[in-house]
Structure 1
Amino acid sequence: MIQSCVTIALVPQIKSGPWIFWEDLESSMAQAASLGFDAIELFTAEASSIDTSHLEKLLAQYSLKLAAVGSGAGKVIQGLTLTDPNHVIRSQAISFIQSMMDFGAHFGAVTIIGSMQGNAMPDRREESLTHLQEALEYLGAHAEQLGVPLIYEPLNRYETNLFNTLGAGRTFLEGLSTRHIQLLADLFHMNIEEVDIAQSIRENGSWIGHVHLADSNRRPMGMGHTSMKEIAEALIQVDYQGAISAEAFPWPNPLGAAKQTMLAFNQHFEK
Structure 2
Amino acid sequence: MKSCITLSLVQEARGGPFVLWDGLEKSIAFAGELGYDAVEIFAPSVESLNLDSLGNLLDSAGVKLAALGTGAGWVKHRLQLADPDAQKRRDAQQFVRTIIDAAGQFGAMAIIGSMQGRSDGNVNSETALGYLAEALEDGGSHAAQYNVPLIYEPLNRYETNQCCTVADGVKLLRSLSTDNVKLLCDLFHMGIEEVDIAGALRAGGDLVGHIHFVDSNRRPVGGGHFDFAPIMRALRSIDYSGYLCAEAFPWPDPHEAARQTMRAFRYWTQSPA
- TM-score of the pair, normalised by structure 2: 0.97
**One-letter identity of the residue aligned with 1:213:** F
Preserved contact between residue 156 and residue 189 of structure 2 (Cα < 8 Å): yes
Q: Could you say which residue in structure 1 is the equivalent of 2:58?
A: 59
- In the alignment of these two chains, the number of paired residues is 270
Q: Which residue in 2 is equivalent to 1:194? A: 194
Contact 1:12 1:23 in 2 (8 A): no
The 5 Å alignment of 1:38-49 reads 38-49=37-48
Q: Does 1:252 align with 2:252?
A: yes
For 1:220, give the aligned amino acid: P
- CA distance in structure 2 between the partners assigned to 1:117 and 1:234 by the alignment: 27
Q: What is the percent sequence identity of the aligned residues?
A: 48
Contact persistence 2:6–2:247 (CA under 8 A): yes
Within a 5 Å distance, the mapping from 1:110-259 to structure 2 comes to 110-122=109-121, 124-259=124-259
How far the C-alpha of 1:50 sits from its partner, in A, is 1.3
Distance 2:125 2:198 in 1: 30
Deviation (angstroms), 1:161: 0.4
**SS across alignment from 2:36:** coil
Tell me if structure 1 keeps the 8 A contact 2:29–2:57: no
| Partner Cα distance (1:234, 1:134) in 2 | 31
Amino acid at match of 2:252: P
Match of 2:265 in 1: 265
One-letter amino acid of the counterpart of residue 60, structure 2 = Q
Supply the distance in 2 between the matched residues of 1:140 and 1:257 (Cα, whole angstroms): 33
Residue 84 of structure 2 corresponds to 85
- The 1-side partners of 2:52 and 2:191 are apart by 39
Residue 17 of structure 1 corresponds to 16
Partner Cα separation in structure 2 for residue 134 and residue 266 of structure 1: 39
Tell me which residue corresponds to 1:103.
Answer: 102
Deviation digits for residues 100-148 of structure 1 (CA, Å, limit 9, x no counterpart)? 0000011011100000000013471111122112211111211222321
In 2, Cα distance between the equivalents of 1:40 and 1:254? 14
For 1:186 and 1:133, locate their aligned partners in 2 and report how far apart those are by CA, in whole Å.
Answer: 20
Partner SS, residue 144 of structure 1: helix
Amino acid corresponding to residue 237 of structure 2 in structure 1: Q
2:107–2:146 Cα contact (<8 Å) kept: no
Gaps of 5+ in 2: none
Q: Which amino acid aligns with 2:84?
A: P
Deviates more, 1:17-26 or 1:177-186: 17-26
User: Which is further off, 118-127 or 205-214?
Assistant: 118-127
User: Counterpart amino acid of 2:67?
Assistant: A
Q: Which residue identity is paired with 1:29?
A: I
Given that residues 113 and 155 in structure 2 are in contact (C-alpha distance below 8 angstroms), is that contact kept between their aligned partners in structure 1? yes
Q: Is there any run of 5+ residues in structure 1 with no aligned partner, and where?
A: none
State the AA in 1 paired with 2:97: Q
Q: Stretches of 4+ moved more than 3 A in 1?
A: none
Tell me which amino acid in the other structure corresponds to 2:133. Q
